[in-house]
Chains A and B, each alone.
Chain A
């Protein structure tokens, strides 16, 4: 700039700005504004038009900033400078020029702001993360399916007043059999293929030795559940495992009866197999209960019909083998010999007990075809529960 004029000459901004786009799309009403300026101060109108196209055509935020300061910068912006000079003008021109410059300042500021937003929006849409990409994901751990069923049962029985009693896995023959009324040499022992650690010491074949330990330690009444791992000396195959899991329950008190047992077992069955399940109790023999019973529930696959409809034709249900019933647990009234063995008086207290297998429940509920899967711990299996 050679000389400070009374007003900035047309051409204070680079000619190249004229190639910029009409700012109408950024801030509408440009034609009217130009017309107004031409009315008030025609040379300013030309400057305004070039400056406005310069701002609208700034290619990136840096260029916009540079042009903005050339026009409106506090220190060297041409419009700012011109406004500073207005005071030196003759009075009538002062008013007109002042008004024109203030309009220009406001309108250009609007365009500058609009272009800035436009550029930022464009930048955001270019450099932002691809939200369809997955994140950095930590591993997720899941409880074992048997642990889930065990917790569910323990919660259920906790609600019915039962506490947990944890008992040993290696056990004296006396506790696993003798005190549970298995006479020495009794054939019932054959049903329990027993692992021996030494003569007289076994891996427990059921969780019931826990009853004996608990009753020896405590006085009645008691309501306890006995979860845990049990062992049978069996060859392992798809449906046999030499290590599996049971939960026993024991309720001993002054007047505990089979009717109480029935109420408890039906509550269990409805909770685990669904409200609509039907149950039946049938007699069965275990040395440690008298009377003894087995509870069946209506088959969860065929709903107790014994048959399933497949491709329009009826077929025998393979889960209940056509009977419509599934054996789910054994139970009974604690045998007086067992009560006597722990020092209880069978005339003073009676009790019921029940026992069930966790694997059986898991297999029925989730259609698990092989018992081996439970201890194999394939994460593709575990991850489904």
Chain B
């Protein structure tokens, strides 16, 4: 909403600078985003008469003029073709400053002295017209007599400041100049102007002979209909079109402009029908009939339904109530009689209708937030008062008001103690009363205060709303800043928070950047990511109203976004991409809400080192990636995770695994299939790791540590031939079980299946370390354990010791 200071001054008496007024409005919650200046001052520019025009002796295009600017004759060189003797012109005298910043100096032009400059409209920035010198006698913009030497400023409205005000959602009164004037008045302690008081007190009154019927009294409890005859549709006078232009609106004609003026001033929408086009003439405010339709002012045909409120004549709908008029009854150049509508419509009804039609207007915007139900008669009176000015031929004819509003104001109680408790300072009942009264609430003293709420304040409905009014009036800036008191609560970091913090830190330590990627992804991306971890794409969750195909499905895990980021970085020439994300994945749940789970997904591809200039620099492979994931699991204290072969669409066959603890499956890892990667335009191998963070056991340190052994450890290596299909995991588990407590560590150090291996077998070699907590192990004991281990592998895995 724009607020021209000149218009504000029409309503309240204040000489405060625009900046001060902006400050006051902002402090009250009407944020002023900017101040624009309209129009200019023209110091040094005067009204002058051209006495004589002669050709410039040295230039064909220029003329040499003698000019009377009120203080003696001047000689001025001029290049405009339209200059002629006797013409009244704006003369910029020496020292004058033009709006564009040009300062006029005495100068010589082609050898002839010029003691000023004759100006075009565009040089004065009053219009775009650069076609010659402004002929003041033909110029419509001037007011007052063209006296030679008169300052040009006096011909124009003075420059005006226009505030750009952000009106809060709950303050429909702020959508009118009067409403904003009330706030400024409260803040600055200003008085209404005499004219303003008269306008606010004015009440429409008219005959009671128009055929008006309110069939839906809930949707429309109040309606004033006023017929006007003898109307001539003409352009607006400059003051009216200027005022609308200062609000950023185009002038149409005097009648339309006048309704817009009232809308902007009082926040009360008015509508005018061409009376001759109304059957009856009559007005019925009713629900639309099933199947009824209407062509609205914007030329579109609207299908109506009985949920919608319409204005109808005796036969058909002629307007969508509070939203937009019909094209058929629009006021045109040919209109000679009008019907003025000044009504109050129920906010919810207008809102429903506006939404159902997908049609909003300046009127519907105000009605749906709540127009002052009491302002109608004053607004209608103001309209008719101004109509006499802009259209003297108009005569009032038939009219009718119907009003089913009770006119009672809401009353609330305010305990000063409640006020003190919420604000944190005790202002006392008297100050509360003073502040409320400044906003025109009526207050009866006492405890509690009895407060009656003005009709234009639908936002004030409970006691705490009054507290806000008191705080606003007193000034939020004057509320003290309390020392932060001890609350009786203590901050806790949950186990889950700590676990997630460690999960992130451990990934960062492995040289992966943390990414935050979009939740909303495409159908294909989500489906591909779902299959990777065994989720049926049918269980994905989709948006009902997506804004693009690229973001219409909720990700099942952060995989799609990470692949997007991977592709982006590769396109930008990255030699490696190493990213992880901790984020939510979604899938359809049992009830209305989807299931949400917290994932950690990590992705690596490209060079093994950030830098290496020797043979160590290679593209990293699955073993590199898996090594990081394993050490991450160790850092997360995952107890002996098991890597099991796993296959699903999207993984490279034979290069993917699921990871499980003794109790649950916690994640998936592997190399992605080139065909899946092609969906993201990725052409290099990408290794992925996806973990369900909530499936990890709580991070817990042991309650009793085990003492590290202090006796000499014994090292042994054992190599076995085992059937090719036997996994390392089986052999390792067999060895561990056979060895018992003395086995401190076991690592596989060689896997071989080349020449020298028996048919159908492979070789696995293990480095073992034995240690006893209480004493040194002797050779016999170690040999005994070793024999048990060999025996177990022979029996359980079908293997045998590989002799040296």
Q: Which residues of A contact B (CB under 8 A)?
A: 133-144, 146-147, 157-164, 166, 168-172, 185, 187-188, 191, 195-201, 203, 221-223, 229, 231, 233-236, 242-243, 245, 251, 253, 255, 257-260, 262-264, 266-267, 280-285, 290-294, 321-323, 333, 335-336, 350, 374-380, 382-383
Contact = CB atoms under 8 A, between A and B. Distances in A.
B545 interface: yes
B29 A158 contact: no
Given A170-B594, A221-B487, A262-B480, A285 B572 contact: no
Interface string B484-518: 11111111111011000000100111111111111
B168 A147 contact: no
A377 B543 CA distance: 24
B522 to A, nearest CB: 14
B33 interface: yes
* Interface SS of A by simple majority: mixed
Contacts of B554: 170, 197, 203
Contacts of A257: 421-424, 482
A163 B657 CA distance: 38
Nearest to B565: A377
B610 A195 contact: no
Interface in B553-609: 554, 561, 565, 568-569, 572, 574, 576-580, 584, 586, 592-594, 596, 609
A147 B514 contact: yes
A379 B480 CA distance: 46
Interface in B453-507: 459, 462, 464-465, 467-468, 471-472, 476-477, 479-494, 496-497, 504, 507
A136 B616 contact: yes
Given A161-B491, A169-B584, 13 more contacts: A135-B611, A136-B616, A138-B511, A157-B491, A168-B596, A188-B169, A231-B519, A245-B516, A267-B484, A375-B516, A378-B568, A379-B577, A380-B572
Interface in B512-538: 512-520
A253 B422 CA distance: 12
B171 A285 contact: yes
A202 B502 CA distance: 31
A183 to B, nearest CB: 9
Nearest to A148: B514
B780 interface: no
Contacts of A283: 27-29, 168, 468, 471-472, 476
A162 B547 CA distance: 36
B513 A141 contact: yes
B748 to A, nearest CB: 24
Contacts of B465: 290
B286 interface: no
15 contacts: A133-B613, A134-B611, A137-B609, A159-B491, A161-B490, A187-B351, A187-B369, A191-B169, A195-B543, A198-B544, A262-B424, A282-B29, A283-B29, A291-B468, A374-B516
A322 B34 contact: yes
Contact of A146 (B516, B542, B580): B516
A262 B610 contact: no
Nearest to B490: A161
Interface string B2-33: 00000000000000000000000011110101
Contacts of B611: 134-137
Contacts of B491: 157-163, 223
A285 to B, nearest CB: 4
Interface string B399-441: 0000000000000000000000111110000000000000000
Contacts of B348: 185
A236 B117 CA distance: 52
A255 B493 CA distance: 25
Contacts of B517: 375, 377
A251 B491 CA distance: 12
Contact of A142 (B28, B352, B486, B513): B513
Q: Which 6 residue pairs spanning A and B have beta carbons closest together?
A: A259-B424, A257-B424, A283-B29, A139-B511, A291-B468, A377-B565
A139 B541 contact: no
Contact of A382 (B497, B504, B514, B519): B514
A375 B480 contact: no
A283 B475 CA distance: 9
B372 interface: no
A161 B512 contact: no
Contacts of B518: 243, 375
B170 interface: yes
A222 B492 CA distance: 12
Contacts of A242: 520, 547, 551
A266 B480 CA distance: 11
A52 B487 CA distance: 90
A282 B34 CA distance: 16
A248 B565 CA distance: 29
Contacts of A170: 541, 554, 586, 593-594, 596
B481 A284 contact: no
B489 A221 contact: yes
A323 B482 contact: no
